[in-house]
Amino acid sequence: MHFNRRHFIDLCSLGLARVALADLLAPRQPHFPAKAKSVIYLFMEGGPSQLDLYQHKPKLTAMDGQPTPPSLLAGKKFAFMERMAAPKLYGAKREFQQHGKSGHWFSSLVPNIAKHADDLAFIHSMKTVNVNHSPAMIAAHTGAMVSGRPSLGAWLLYGLGAETKDLPAFIAMTSGPRGPRNGNDIWGSGFLPTHYQGVPFLNAKSPIFHLQNPAGVTRERQERAIDVIGDLNRERLALTGDPEIETRIASYEMAFRMQSSAPDLMDLARESQATLDLYGATPGKPGFATNCLLARRLVERGVRCVQVYHTDWDHHTGIDGRLDKICPEVDRASAALLTDLKQRGLLDQTLVVWGGEFGRTPMAEGTAKSAGRNHLIDGYSVWLAGGGVQRGASVGLTDELGFQSVKDTVSVHDLHATILHQCGFDHKRLTYRVQGRDFRLTDVEGDPVKGITG
């Protein structure tokens, strides 16, 4: 067996292994004082339509039903549009109004989010790299289109460490008709040690498996078993120096502690009826509203990163009816989260991000009676709130029909750099060396978005 310096040190003392384990997720100082201690990413998987929610385009409305000028389609990539010979423009069927001193535009589909206009910083010129869901999802979370890179949450945990010992520091929760595409790729740790990966909660009445011991197994008996398993793993760690064994030990011990901490976390009956009504949440009923309320409870307990997915935004057909169905829940709970965080003094230290992997096109797809929108990768909208961002800010602009960004284009790398900046990091210095190269979330691109960062 080949022994390196680390193996030699581990062989010297099991005590050193215990010290290393205790230091795995200890809180660490960022590069400069952070505005945000935690991040909540409200991710609308499938691609929410910026044209029906946040971007008011009167000319598009006026040209509704007219053929799309060929010049606007030249060189563009759209998923599935090849089956349409002459796609027609499709104006929003919603009333738009400006809100707050900021004058942000909102459609009638998001009246509750609109009430927070002056808390929000909008980016209306987002651009991603691929027109298909899977690579765009991976890029939105890892900065790359290929599997195997660490996710945003993993990078945050690697940089900041954890503030809680009784709950995972990075948690992903889902709601909608299915789980999000790419699963572990979008909350995984990639080449970072696996103790930085996210822990998914189920979209079910009991989101966490095996919180209760089997019949006849007391807590004392289980604790003895965990101690024995831990000792055996530490002996193996001392022999091999394998960092994955550290993760295994930490996972056993975290799971044991969560048997006490998780029931308290999940007990929404402890919330006031006013808070439950604010979110539209019902104790024991899974869904986006419950997950948003849990997100507040998680950051309140020191969790670093919470990804909350709603997976019903891929509207190729019937977009108007489907938005009527899903927007009330998402709008109410998203706004409630901002209100709740603000009332509790948590919004200033919690960065909330709302968006998807891309947006939707100005032209219609499907039949006239059941029109939808295709994928648009250039000029979609994302908003941020809290965590020190510039309140009421607006960055970027798309053309008058909403086809593409025409001012201050923001890439996915720029958005990631902005999130890291609010958490106290120079994205160029937050690196991890693997296979002879220093990697970072933003690869070799990206800058914090001026006008957004505080």
Q: Is residue 226 part of a domain?
A: no
Residue 117 belongs to a domain: yes
d(CA 150, CA 191): 6
Q: Which candidate, 113, 134, 115, 120, places its Cα nearest to that of 47? A: 134
Closest CA relative to residue 318, chosen from 257, 366, 378: 366
pLDDT of residue 3: 44
| pLDDT band of 7, cuts 50, 70, 90 | very low
CB 77 within 8 A of CB 341: no
* SS3 assignment, position 398: strand
User: What pLDDT is recorded for position 6?
Assistant: 43
User: What's the CA gap between 418 and 434, in Å, rounded?
Assistant: 24
CA 71 from centre of chain: 35
Indicate if the pLDDT at residue 58 is higher than 60: yes
| Nearest by Cα to 449 from 386, 390, 376, 392 | 390
Residues 6+ apart with CB under 8 A from 23: none
Residue 64 domain flag:
yes
127 pLDDT higher than 90: yes
Q: DSSP secondary-structure letter at 347?
A: G
Quickly list DSSP for 166-185. Answer: SS-SEEEEEESSSPPTTTHH
Mean of all residue pLDDT scores within the chain:
89
Q: How confident is the model at residue 204 (pLDDT cuts 50, 70, 90)?
A: confident
- pLDDT above 60: residue 12: no
Is pLDDT above 70 for 220? yes
Any domain includes 18: no
Instruction: Between 355 and 264, name the one with better pLDDT.
Output: 355
Query: DSSP per residue over 211-239, as a string?
Result: -SPPTT--HHHHHHHHHHHHHHHHHHHHH
Total domains present in the chain? 1
What's the CATH code of the domain at 43? 3.40.720.10
Q: Which domain holds residue 306?
A: 36-212+247-440
Predicted local distance difference test score (pLDDT) of residue 243: 73
Q: What is the pLDDT of residues 327-382, one digit of tens each?
A: 999 999 999 999 999 999 999 999 999 999 999 999 998 887 899 999 999 999 99
Please state the φ and ψ torsions of residue 166, each to the nearest 5 degrees.
-105, -5
- pLDDT(230) > 60: yes
The answer to the question of residue 75 being in a domain is yes
In a domain, 110, yes or no: yes
Would the pLDDT of 408 be above 70?
yes
Q: Is residue 238 part of a domain?
A: no
* pLDDT tens per residue, range 128-173: 999 999 999 999 999 999 899 999 999 999 999 999 888 999 999 9
Beta carbons within 8 Å of 436's beta carbon, 6+ residues apart: none
Taking the chain, what is the end-to-end CA distance rounded to the nearest angstrom? 52
User: How buried is residue 285: exposed, middle or buried, by Cβ count under 10 Å (0-12/13-18/19+)?
Assistant: exposed
Work out the pLDDT band at 252, boundaries 50, 70, 90.
low
Q: What is the pLDDT of residues 430-446, one digit of tens each?
A: 999 999 999 999 999 99
- Range 12-19 average pLDDT: 43
| Pair 353, 419: CB distance under 8 Å | yes
Contact 366, 431 (CB under 8 A): no
331: in domain: yes
